[in-house]
Structure 1
Amino acid sequence: MGGQERLSLRRLKGFNPLGRLTDGQLVLLASRAERKTYSPGQKVMERGVRDGMDYFLVTGTVELNSQDGRKSVLEAETDQAANPVARLQPRMYDVTAVKHCEFLVIDQEVLNQLLRAAPVAQVEIDSMVGAGEESEEHHLLMEFYSELRSNQVQLPSVPEVAWKVRRLVDREDSGAAEVATAVSADPAMAVKLVRACNSPLYRGFSDVRNVRESVVRLGMRTTRQLVTVFAMREVFKSRQPALQKEMEKLWQHSREVAALCWVLADQATNLDPEEAMLAGLLHDIGIVQVLVQAEYHVNLFADEVNLHHAMSELRADIGCAVLEHWSFPKPFVEAARYAEDWQYECREPAPQLVDVVIVAQLHSMVGSSQSSGLPAFDEVPAWHRLGALELNASRSLQLLSEARKRVDEVQKLLSAR
């Protein structure tokens, strides 16, 4: 590592998933790692390259630029910089130094070998059946980390009708007739879209009679979001009865959060309510993938404690990977990553999808079996950022109580088969 100052074990453990390694493993890893520095304007990574290395930002600031032109800035020692930069391979971003920066560069295969050999943390051992033996959950976690980091995880595909509609709407020369034809190719989707257009949320002076009229009334953007929302129901499925019960519970929770997101976005922000609803529906998409994978790990899903721990551990990482794989914009990925991080504070000046999802999650858990350990509303940065209504705890609950009818209408929309 040259003449550069040695990174402390505490600093190394602040990076994910290095915190899973023992002190001895971290010392070994540090001896095999490389420290690289870059000057402002210098290219760190190129999109499309597969180099088998992980880059951890130690100091400085970099800019990530995706193929569709989206840009984001990443600063060292922030929550976002705890993970490897642009981890999926081939690289999905061009990464350029904004300020002088330094990276810890680690060979992915070396890291994967160490992770596979890492011991199970005591807190995990205490929660598992057969303590003292290597757990099925631990193997699943390590498999996921390894496959995710080498781009080998089999991520689900966006349902075909949603993919077609999104592509059409994103084209400037597409019209309502073309979008309606794509929707009509899926008769069940066509029925849902017309039903939605005639629901209290979108109804005009008269009912629409067909898909084309629905697209015209809703507009292309809303049509795209609603088709994606309706298509997502098909993703929440498992072939194993025990796991299907978990899928149903997850769908109910996601549906409740999505409905709350719609109302909060509509009344407390300038965000598109349909986008917020979709972000709420997708905030736990990583758990869907864990449940699908758990079908092949019988011992894991046979024990509910193990399964729920794996769901919690992998929710954010896998969810972000799925949404990036589906080419969802950064705000959706951010909402999935930080949906359960009550202390997360977005740096954008105006409220973002992540703020709405965090607050909707809080509201959905109040009074439920999940309410123990929840922070007070006024301790949550995202709640303060929804400032348009000058919310306080009682006003926040009052708002959603008054809007309960609309929440129920969105729920009904999402539950339609």
Structure 2
Amino acid sequence: MAGQDSLPLRRLKEFQPLNRLTDDQLVLLASRAERRTHSPGQRVVQRGVRDGLDFFLVSGKVELESVDGRKSVVEAETEKALTPIARLQPRMYDVTAVKPCEFLVVEQDILNQLLRSAPVAQVEMDSGESADDGETEEHHLLMEFYAELRSNQLKLPSVPDVAWKVRRAVDREESTAAQVASAVSADPAMAAKLVRACNSPLYRGFSDVRNVREAVVRLGMRTTRQLVTVFSMREVFKSRQASLQKEMEGLWRHSREVAALAWVLADHATNLNPEEALLAGLLHDIGVVPILVQAEHHINLFADPANLRHVIGELRADVGTAVLESWSFPAPFLDAVRHAEDWSFECREDAPQLVDVVIVAQMHSMIGTSQNAELPPFDQVPAYRRLGELELNASRSLQLLTEARARVDEVQQLLSIR
């Protein structure tokens, strides 16, 4: 069922990327958009369909179900509803109304045309001067880049096959250690890494394990699943192009450092699973990977490093969330990716979450670097204060990480297993 009334501009500007459009563009968009309503139980979007539409949830609640049966809920006027629902095409989810829902439905081609001519936020140049790129070639190239992202031409990395199979095996309630070990052993290199990890200082028992099944039994299925995903991520941060590989190596080193710090913080200062924190830290910048790959096709735009930094800053959260959505990762990981560099973010959950640990790990990784000056005081960061409820204050924090440096090094060595 479709409605004709337009939403007020104030409401339209709450959605991303509609907030990049001018008032005149929003008026034009609203005149070309549809308002649709759905009753509880009605299908909104069907998995596998490529319809070329963006669905913005104006009111109500919907349930998303992925191909492997994972379900999540999105409610209007919450963080998850700021961007189009199940926006990847072909659709990765079945979307069903849980409460009476209203959507603003926009053709992606129309939105992309408007985004190409939308003004770009002013960028601070290396000289310290601001430049309005409104009429420059860089502006048009940047808008093309955004449009490619919007229309899903930006190629997202695939979850490595062995990680997917092991996750599926672990998620089946009836799976045994032998079956999970069999899924791991399908990739001999991964099997060897898991056994070496199990015999590393982090997990070593009274005696070394000799095979994958013994490793799965000692580690437990949940830790096995996380470690297999962690080890498989190294392949995602690779490129065949030399210039791009240098950027990827730097990104991997930073991600590895944040992951190690997240493991230690989770283990010492929260009740979170350290391996989940490790994985969240490793994935916090996953959105930068497809941006770097796409940047190779826009040499003129990214010859200036300031432009590349600007685009990464603008898009890393959206693209990273899209990657993890396509990999069917649960909501806590998506939150960690979306808000990893949002120092003011405050989680609604009572207990510390993965996003809190990743934010604090990020801050610690920047101490002593050129980015140190950009950091706010630790005690003004909500994520840090939330960990502070577990007796983590500024001096204790540095003391903890100093004392745990050996553990950080052990985690780094774990991530370096070949």
Q: Distance in 2 between matches of 1:202 and 1:127?
A: 52
Aligned amino acid, residue 133 of structure 1: T
Q: Aligned equivalents of 2:403 and 2:73: distance in 1?
A: 37
- Structure 2 counterpart of 1:74, one-letter code: E
Describe the superposition over 1:226-246 as per-residue Cα deviations: whole angstroms up to 9, x where unpaired: 111011101111222222111
Distance (whole Å) between structure 2 residues aligned to residue 145 and residue 388 of structure 1: 40
Question: What is the alpha-carbon distance in structure 1 between the residues aligned to residue 137 and residue 112 of structure 2?
Answer: 17
Distance in 1 separating the partners of 2:390 and 2:273: 17
Question: What SS does structure 1 have at the residue aligned with 2:261?
Answer: helix
Q: Which residue of 2 aligns with 1:65?
A: 64
Counterpart of 2:220 in structure 1 is 219
TM-score by length of 1: 0.88
Counterpart secondary structure, 1:214: helix
Alpha-carbon distance in 2 for matches of 1:369, 1:145? 30
CA–CA distance in structure 2, aligned partners of residues 343 and 25 of structure 1: 30
Instruction: State the alpha-carbon separation in 2 of the partners of residues 42 and 208 from structure 1.
Output: 50
CA distance in 2, matches of 1:104, 1:157: 30
Inter-partner Cα distance in structure 1 for 2:4 and 2:185: 65
Give yes or no for contact 2:255–2:284 (8 Å, CA) kept in 1. yes
Partner residue, 2:14: 14
Q: Compute the displacement of 1:171 (Å).
A: 2.4
% of aligned pairs identical? 67
Distance change (3 Å), C-alpha of 1:16 and 1:6: closer
Q: Within 5 Å, which residues of 2 pair with 1:367-386?
A: 367-386=368-387
CA contact (8 A) 1:286 1:317 kept: yes
Q: Which residue of 1 aligns with 2:208?
A: 207
Structure 2 partner of 1:133: 136
Q: Kindly state the Cα deviation for residue 285 of structure 1 after the two structures are TM-superposed.
A: 0.7
Contact 1:128 1:305 in 2 (8 A): no
SS at 2:106's partner residue?
strand
Counterpart residue identity of residue 308, structure 1: R
Deviation at 1:11, TM superposition (A): 3.9
The Cα offsets for residues 240-268 of structure 1, whole Å up to 9 and x where unpaired, read as 22221111111011001111111111122
Q: Is the 8 A contact 2:170 2:225 kept in 1?
A: yes
Give the superposition deviation at 1:37.
5.1
- Checking the alignment, whether the CA contact within 8 Å between 1:55 and 1:105 is kept in structure 2 is yes
Does 2:109 align with 1:106? Answer: no
Indicate the residue corresponding to 1:258 in structure 2.
259
- Partner secondary structure for residue 258 of structure 1: helix
Which residues in structure 2 correspond to 1:267-286 (within 5 Å)? 267-286=268-287
Q: Which amino acid in 1 is paired with 2:24?
A: G
User: Which residue does the alignment assign to 1:45?
Assistant: 44
Pair 153,304 (structure 1): closer, same or farther in 2 beyond 3 Å? closer
The whole-number CA distance in structure 1 between the counterparts of 2:70 and 2:307 is 41
1:72-116 per-position Cα deviation (integer Å, ceiling 9, x unaligned)? 34241x443322233234262424254x66443322221112112
Q: Secondary structure at the match of 2:209?
A: coil
2-structure distance, mates of 1:167, 1:359: 31
SS in 1 for 2:264: helix
Q: Distance in 1 between matches of 2:234 and 2:378?
A: 30
Q: Is the 8 A contact 2:63 2:98 kept in 1?
A: no
Query: What is the identity, as a one-letter code, of the residue corresponding to 2:195?
Result: V
Cα distance in 2 between the residues matched to 1:215 and 1:190: 10
Residue 192 of structure 2 is matched in structure 1 by 191
| 1:291–1:2 Cα change, 3 Å | closer
Task: Give the secondary structure class of the aligned counterpart of 2:207.
Answer: coil
**Aligned equivalent of 1:158:** 159
Provide the C-alpha distance between the structure 2 equivalents of 1:242 and 1:129, rounded to a whole number of angstroms.
29
Does structure 2 retain, via aligned residues, the 8 Å contact 1:343–1:381?
A: yes
SS in structure 1 at match of 2:123: helix
The change in CA–CA distance for 1:309 and 1:399 in structure 2 (over 3 A counts) is same
Q: Where does 1:335-346 land on structure 2 (aligned, <5 Å)?
A: 335-346=336-347
Aligned residue identity for 1:156: P
Give the distance between the partners of 2:60 and 2:374, measured in 1 at CA: 35
Change (3 A) 1:159 1:128: farther
Contact 1:254 1:283 in 2 (8 A): yes
Other-structure match for 2:29: 29
| Residue 399 of structure 1: how far off its partner (Å) | 1.8
1:124 Cα deviation (Å)? Answer: 7.3
CA, structure 1 residues 239+69, in 2 after alignment: closer, same or farther (shift >3 Å)? closer
Aligned to 2:411: 410
The answer to whether the 8 A contact 1:128-1:306 is kept is no
Q: Which moved more, 1:13-22 or 1:178-187?
A: 178-187
Letter in 1 for 2:146: M
How many residue pairs get aligned? The number is 409
| CA shift digits 1:339-386 (9 cap, x unpaired) | 111122222222221111111111111221112221222222222222
Contact 2:4 2:35 in 1 (8 A): no
Structure 1 unaligned regions, length at least 5? none
Give, as a single letter, the amino acid of the residue that structure 2 aligns with 1:66.
E
Q: Secondary structure at the match of 1:389?
A: coil
Q: Bigger shift: 370-379 or 387-396?
A: 387-396
- AA matched with 1:109: D
Q: Give the Å deviation of 1:275.
A: 1.0
The 2-side partners of 1:268 and 1:64 are apart by 33
Aligned-residue CA RMSD (Å): 2.7
CA contact (8 A) 1:284 1:319 kept: yes
Give the TM-score of the pair, scaled to structure 2.
Answer: 0.88
Is the partner of 2:401 in helix, strand or coil?
A: helix
The more displaced of 159-168 and 407-416 is 159-168
Aligned-pair CA distance for 1:128: 7.6
Structure 2's unaligned 5+ residue stretches are: none
Q: CA deviation at 1:36?
A: 4.2
Distance in 1 of aligned mates of 2:306 and 2:248: 16
